[in-house]
Structure 1
Amino acid sequence: MITGGLITIAGGDTPPLTTGREAAREAAERELAKPIYHQDEPGLLQRALDRFWEWLGEFFDRASGATPGGGLGLLVIALLVVLAVAALWWRLGTPHRTARGAGTLFDEGPRSAADHRAAADAHAAAGRWNEAVRERMRAVVRSLEERTLLDPRPGRTADEAAAEAARSLPAHADELRAAARTFDDVTYGGRTADADTYARLRTLDLTLDHTKPILTGGPTP
């Protein structure tokens, strides 16, 4: 029997049991907290996923309502965004490699131009075009050093070598810059070379080897 907010249990000669309202509430909470009452409820992860999919559905509903053409227009815009990102990724290469575009040209001890050419041709014969391009560019620069058109200088980049070589070989300035850019793209920009790329660099190497320079008063300082 409940009287004045108290629960009174009477029976026979047993004194009545009186439980306060606060104690009754706590007892009910303990009872309802037992796992048996929650075994069919979704877990925390499932509830989070449900909330996420609910939010995503509402987002797309609002976006499609605000986009000309509705859902189809939204799909077209999403496709254009994906294509733009893919085009930028292809053009710029992977970000962590692109940031290294100012790396040095030579990463090993001194080797002759003939050594680099032999290594380049060996890589090309095996279809390893990236390695072939790198070695052929090194052959170009080393050959210019051997002809005293460039000072041998550790730490020189491909761009620096091309700019310095263009002073005594101005007719080939564009090809030298393009070769340096190809070297950087392949070595640091995540690009992949092919047979045509290597053929252009090999032709430049052989052409420069037979080109008479314009004397500028000595080796590049």
Structure 2
Amino acid sequence: MIPVSASLALLLPAFQLLPAFEPPVDPDRGEAQRWAAEELSKPQYASAKPSWIAEIWNQFVDWLRSLNGDSIGGANIGVPLIGALAVVLIVVAVIVVRPRLNARKKTSAKVFDGEPTVDADAFRALASAAASREDWQTAVVEQFRAVVRAAEDRAVIDIQAGRTADEAAAQLGRAFGAASSRLEEAARIFDGVKYGKATATASDHAAVRALDTRLSAMRPDFAGQPANGLAVPR
């Protein structure tokens, strides 16, 4: 039989391994708040916080739920969101993108339809006859043709098949620098009537006719850089 003293000697190392017993601590309110703040300031808690993107998403989900009586769950929230985004993209495409694409596709109308033997005076007569019957669309078209054909007859610009109104205005603008802005405006009116089917007015025809009269009295200065379509002064 093992003596009692020997048994106690054998159990002593085991008791030494047990953690020291501490009495329960009952902190006051301020101490408890301090302990909680110190605990939550540890890195593992900071890394567990949601990112700002997650917070925005959660707020958006809460907003959708408020509109739907909390019937939208987290699993199917992407379905209405994708649908809403698709509608927004379609609206943006219709309002913004499509008109810009159409504008890029638009080209300037050709000045002549194939009247190489008709001189400027003949076009002026056609324009005057159209104006007398208040056919302002025809009057604008024929008057602008008179402007271009007169420049060709004077060798200010070369005769060029398929020349557009924008090209004619640019070439004549380099020959008659002081009238470049009026030439651009006349080309815009011509394109609006001939290509865009716009409605012309008596003032539109009067503006193109005044331009025709002014250019007939001007000497070309050929200001600016030489370009294709400008005739060589003789």
TM-score (norm 1): 0.54
Superposed, 1:124-139 pairs within 5 Å as 124-139=131-146
Does residue 105 of structure 1 match 2:115? no
Judge conservation of contact 1:101–1:189 (CA < 8 Å) in 2.
no
Task: Answer yes or no: is the 8 Å Cα contact 2:157–2:230 preserved in 1.
Answer: yes
Q: Which residue number corresponds to residue 166 of structure 2?
A: 159
Superposed displacement of residue 190, structure 1? 2.0
Distance change in 2, residues 1:98/1:184 (3 Å): farther
Structure 2 counterpart of 1:220: 230
Matched ranges for 1:6-155 at <5 A: 101-110=107-116, 111-155=118-162
Alignment of 1:185 with 2:217, yes or no, is no
Mapped partners of 1:115, 1:163: distance in 2: 24
Query: Are residues 1:169 and 2:176 paired?
Result: yes
Taking a change above 3 Å as real, the CA distance of residues 98 and 109 of structure 1, as seen in their structure-2 partners, is farther
2:216 matched to which residue of 1? 209
Equivalent residues of 2:175, 2:220 under 8 A apart: yes
Structure 2 CA distance, aligned partners of 1:190 and 1:139? 20
Contact 1:119/1:132, CA 8 A, preserved across alignment: yes
**Cα distance change, pair 129–102 in 1 and its aligned pair in 2 (3 A):** same
Query: Partner letter of residue 205 of structure 2?
Result: Y
Question: Does the CA contact (< 8 Å) of 1:98 and 1:188 recur in 2?
Answer: no
Q: 1:149 to 1:136 in 2, by over 3 A?
A: same
Q: Under a length normalisation based on structure 2, what TM-score does the superposition of the two structures give?
A: 0.51
Q: Give the deviation of 1:215 after TM superposition.
A: 4.5
**Structure with a larger share of its residues in strand:** 1
Indicate how the Cα distance of structure 1 residues 133 and 99 shifts in structure 2: closer, same or farther if over 3 A, else same: farther
Q: What amino acid maps onto 1:220 in structure 2?
A: L
Q: Does 1:196 align with 2:203?
A: yes
Q: Secondary structure at the match of 1:166?
A: helix
User: What's the C-alpha RMSD, in Å, of the aligned pairs?
Assistant: 2.9
Separation in 2, partners of 1:99, 1:190: 16
CA positional deviation for 1:100:
5.3
Equivalent residues of 1:98, 1:190 under 8 A apart: no
Aligned residues: 132
Q: Which has the larger radius of gyration?
A: 2
Q: 1:131 to 1:197 in 2, by over 3 A?
A: same
Q: Percent identity?
A: 39
| CA distance in structure 2 between the partners assigned to 1:112 and 1:186 by the alignment | 22
Q: Check conservation: 1:98, 1:189, Cα contact below 8 A.
A: no
Deviation at 1:115, TM superposition (A): 0.5
Structure 1 residues 119-166: Cα deviation after superposition (integer angstroms, max 9, x where no partner):
000000011000000000000000000111100001000100110111
Q: Tell me: CA distance 1:98–1:140, structure 2 relative to 1, closer, same or farther (3 Å).
A: farther
Alpha-carbon distance in structure 1 between the residues aligned to 2:137 and 2:182: 18
Taking the aligned partners of 1:188 and 1:102, their CA distance within structure 2 comes to: 7
- State the one-letter code of the partner of 1:157: T
User: What CA distance in whole angstroms lies between the structure 1 residues aligned with 2:108 and 2:180?
Assistant: 19
Q: Quick one: structure 1 residues 213 and 122, their matched pair in 2 at CA, closer, same or farther if it must change by over 3 Å?
A: same
